[in-house]
Amino acid sequence: MKKLLQRIYLFLILLFLYAPIIVLIVYSFNESKSRAVWQGFSLTWYQQLFTDSKILNALETTLLIALVASVIATVLGTFAALGIIKMKKKTFETVRTITYIPVLNPDIVTGVSLMMLFAFVGIELGFISMLLAHITFCTPYVIISVLPKLYQTDISVYEAAQDLGATPFYALRKTIIPQLMPGIVTGFLLSFTLSVDDFVISYFTTGGHVENLSMIVFSMARKGVNPKINAVSALLFVTVMALLLIVNKRELSSKRHANKSKATLLNREKQILSMGENEEK
């Protein structure tokens, strides 16, 4: 009975969260402009969406910024995590706490702060300022994704590679980076998803001539509900959901691989011990 109640409770929570999104996706295929009347299945709004030059330009800007920001943030975050893990305990705790602040900080505070910083430094608000802002808020997520993998990494392999004559960078590339790859990929996908989805920080750190997809959706919603908004939102939801599923699948596969490796090592140890016992007999 208890398990049944727990499942019902979980189902109601998920229904409450996802029912509006399901309705939005369904009505993105509605032939009518009305949100209350269903007049039949149609791809009209998707056709209009992909012929709207303003939306397509915003989509291109969104994907370009998300890709570039994610790559740069992944590189910065990975090397930052490698530096943080080598710090002394007190310094490590302090820097790790500081790393969590941008993640917990409200987006509006981050957006306004970056806007004031760009104005103070003299950077014109536009594509570059938005790109820098996205790199800034994506980097902590990469650090958070890579650090747990560093806890599990065997540093002695890196030291052994150096003892055998490898340069520090070559040893890092061949021994440490492969072990961190699941965390690096997770950080990259998470950064890409957050960048595509961001509105508040982008709104405060860009000029009037550069807009991403979230800003276009916001401006369209202010002028009245346009069915193209349903189509855009449906595509964004599917994209983000697909990326999150990829992240979760990679996490599960890496855990299964680690468990299989441990099981293999244990079996080998048992075989060696049994062989030793047989030789003694």
**Cα dihedral sign for 85, 91, 96, 101?**
negative
Residue 75 tokens read as 């590189």
* pLDDT tens, position by position, 224-279: 667 787 888 888 788 878 877 877 776 677 667 666 656 665 666 566 556 655 55
Q: Could you read off the pLDDT of 146-198 as tens digits, one per residue?
A: 988 888 777 777 777 777 777 878 888 888 888 888 888 888 988 988 898 88
% of the chain at pLDDT higher than 90: 17
pLDDT of 109 > 70? The answer is yes
The reported pLDDT for the residue numbered 75 is: 93
**Token pair for 177:** 């980076």
Q: Write the pLDDT tens digit of every residue in 62-77.
A: 889 999 999 999 999 9
Residue-range domain boundaries for the chain: 53-250
To the nearest 5 percent, what fractions of the chain are helix, strand and coil? 80, 0, 15
How far is it, in rounded angstroms, from Cα 74 to Cα 127?
20
How far the first Cα of the chain sits from its last, in Å, is 56
Question: Are residues 57 and 216 in contact, defined by beta-carbon separation less than 8 angstroms?
Answer: no
Q: How far apart are alpha carbons 153 and 94 in whole angstroms?
A: 22
Residues 44-53: b if buried by 16+ CB within 10 A, e if exposed: ebbeebeebe
Considering the domain 53-250 in this protein, what is its CATH number?
A: 1.10.3720.10
The closest alpha carbon to 134, from 199, 218, 215, belongs to 199
Kindly report the pTM of this predicted structure. 0.77
Q: Could you tell me which of 210, 202, 64 has the C-alpha nearest to residue 134? A: 202
Length of the chain (residues): 281
